[in-house]
């Protein structure tokens, strides 16, 4: 599928792939055959997606630093404003089986050259109450939960790693650990120095064996990574495009969807519709 501004937040749910188009302001619901329809229009910049136990879609609004509740056929309504708990635009999200949403944020404005700063991970409970559950993260981005539901894994883009936490019964996180160091950790002196890494983990998905498929935002690829950091498989984006998010699904659970664009320059992506969505069998 082509013609998007910038696809992000890819997920598989209820027999469909779902993606946000950041600069179009909508969420797409896509059949395995590739037919897309607009599921949600958001007066914001949508990104991370997840679902409450009753099937209600949650959408991250990046600019408002909020999570929006989007019941089918109804206008979006505010679920949680987490501005006070974040250091920059909100970004990706994963929702656990209890309806608790874990939301990442950028920490600082990378696009305007603001000084780098570490930041938080926020949990939004089903009633909208919000809590910081981790801090000091280096540009937390994509999020997945292990198949057994006991661990949360977050991609720290400018840490070059996947970090893991144990999810406690009350939804708090403990036992922070490096799950896989897959890139060189860059210097945090300037926004430019952050790009000095050989793997910048971005959006991700997890398979039934517990390996994480993670996009590399700087090198146009997705890698299947085992705990400890072994890269077991890599797929490059076609035509030299960048690759920023992925989701694993399809009727047999073996279709990988890839969100690609020429680059992540927000000015260029807003002005054109060059993003492409690919699928491949694994």
Predicted local confidence at residue 111, as pLDDT = 80
Tell me what the mean pLDDT of segment 27-41 comes to.
Answer: 95
For residues 13-35, give the mean pLDDT: 96
* Strand blocks (E) in 161-274: 161-167, 173-181, 201-206, 212-216, 221-225, 231-236, 242-249, 255-261
Can you spell out the DSSP letters for 109-168? -GGGTPPP--EEEEEE-TTS-EEEEEEEESSEEEEEE-TTS-EEEEEEGGGTEEEEEEE-
Name the residue among 73, 104, 74 with its Cα closest to residue 8.
104
The Cα-based distances of 20 to 17, 205, 231 in angstroms read 11, 16, 27
pTM, entire model: 0.97
User: DSSP H helical segments within the chain, as ranges?
Assistant: 266-271
Phi first, then psi, for residue 208 (nearest 5°) are: -70, -20
pLDDT band at residue 259, thresholds of 50, 70 and 90? very high
- In Å, what is the CA distance from 98 to each residue of 52, 80, 107, 181, 255? 8, 17, 27, 30, 26
Bin 219: left if φ > 0, else alpha if -120 < ψ < 50, else beta.
Answer: alpha
Burial (Cβ within 10 Å: 0-12, 13-18, ≥19) of residue 139: buried
Spell out the residues 6+ positions from residue 10 whose beta carbon is closer than 8 angstroms to its own.
17, 18, 19, 203, 205, 245, 246, 247, 257, 259
What is the distance between the alpha carbons of residues 56 and 53, in angstroms, rounded to a whole number? 7
Find how far residue 230's CA is from the centre of its chain: 21
**Per-residue pLDDT at 268:** 96
Count other Cβ atoms within 10 Å, centred on residue 134. Answer: 21
The answer to whether 183 and 200 are in contact (CB under 8 A) is yes
Instruction: Give the chain's mean pLDDT.
Output: 96
Q: Provide the CB-side half-sphere exposure for 231 (13 A, CA).
A: 15
Q: Which one, of 47, 58, 139, 144, lies nearest residue 94 by Cα?
A: 144
Q: What is the pLDDT of residues 171-181, one digit of tens each?
A: 999 999 999 99
CA 108 to chain centroid, in Å, comes to: 17
Helix count and strand count (H, E) for the chain: 1, 24
99-119 mean pLDDT: 92
Backbone angles phi, psi at 210, to 5 degrees: 85, 10
pLDDT of residue 113: 81
Per-residue pLDDT at 101: 98
CB contact set of 210 (below 8 Å; sequence gap of 6+): 146, 147, 226, 227
| 3 Cβ neighbours under 8 A, 6+ residues apart | 273, 275
Q: What is the mean pLDDT of residues 58-77?
A: 96
């Amino acid at each position: 599928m082509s013609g998007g501004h910038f696809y992000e937040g890819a997920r598989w749910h209820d027999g469909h792939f779902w993606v946000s188009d950041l600069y179009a302001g909508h969420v797409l619901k896509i059949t395995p055959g590739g037919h897309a329809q607009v599921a949600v229009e958001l007066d914001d910049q949508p990104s991370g997606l997840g679902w409450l136990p009753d099937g209600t879609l949650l959408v991250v609004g990046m600019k408002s630093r909020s999570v929006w509740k989007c019941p089918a056929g109804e206008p979006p309504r505010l679920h949680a404003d987490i501005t006070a708990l974040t250091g920059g635009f909100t970004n990706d999200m994963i929702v656990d089986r209890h309806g608790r949403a874990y939301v990442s944020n950028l920490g600082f404005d990378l696009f305007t050259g603001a000084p780098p700063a570490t930041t938080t991970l926020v949990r939004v409970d089903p009633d909208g109450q919000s809590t910081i559950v981790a801090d000091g993260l280096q540009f937390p981005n994509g999020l997945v939960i292990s198949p057994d539901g006991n661990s949360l894994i977050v991609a720290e883009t400018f840490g070059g790693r996947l970090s893991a936490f144990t999810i406690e019964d009350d939804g708090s996180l403990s036992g922070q650990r490096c799950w896989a160091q897959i890139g060189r950790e860059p210097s945090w002196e300037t926004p430019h120095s952050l790009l000095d890494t050989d793997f910048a983990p971005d959006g991700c998905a997890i398979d039934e064996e517990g390996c994480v498929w993670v996009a590399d935002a700087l090198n146009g690829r997705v890698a299947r990574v085992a705990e400890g950091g072994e890269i077991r498989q890599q797929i490059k984006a076609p035509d030299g495009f960048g690759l920023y998010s992925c989701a694993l699904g399809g009727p047999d659970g073996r279709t990988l969807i890839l969100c690609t664009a020429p680059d992540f320059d927000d000015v260029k992506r807003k002005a054109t519709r060059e993003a492409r969505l690919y699928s491949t069998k694994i």
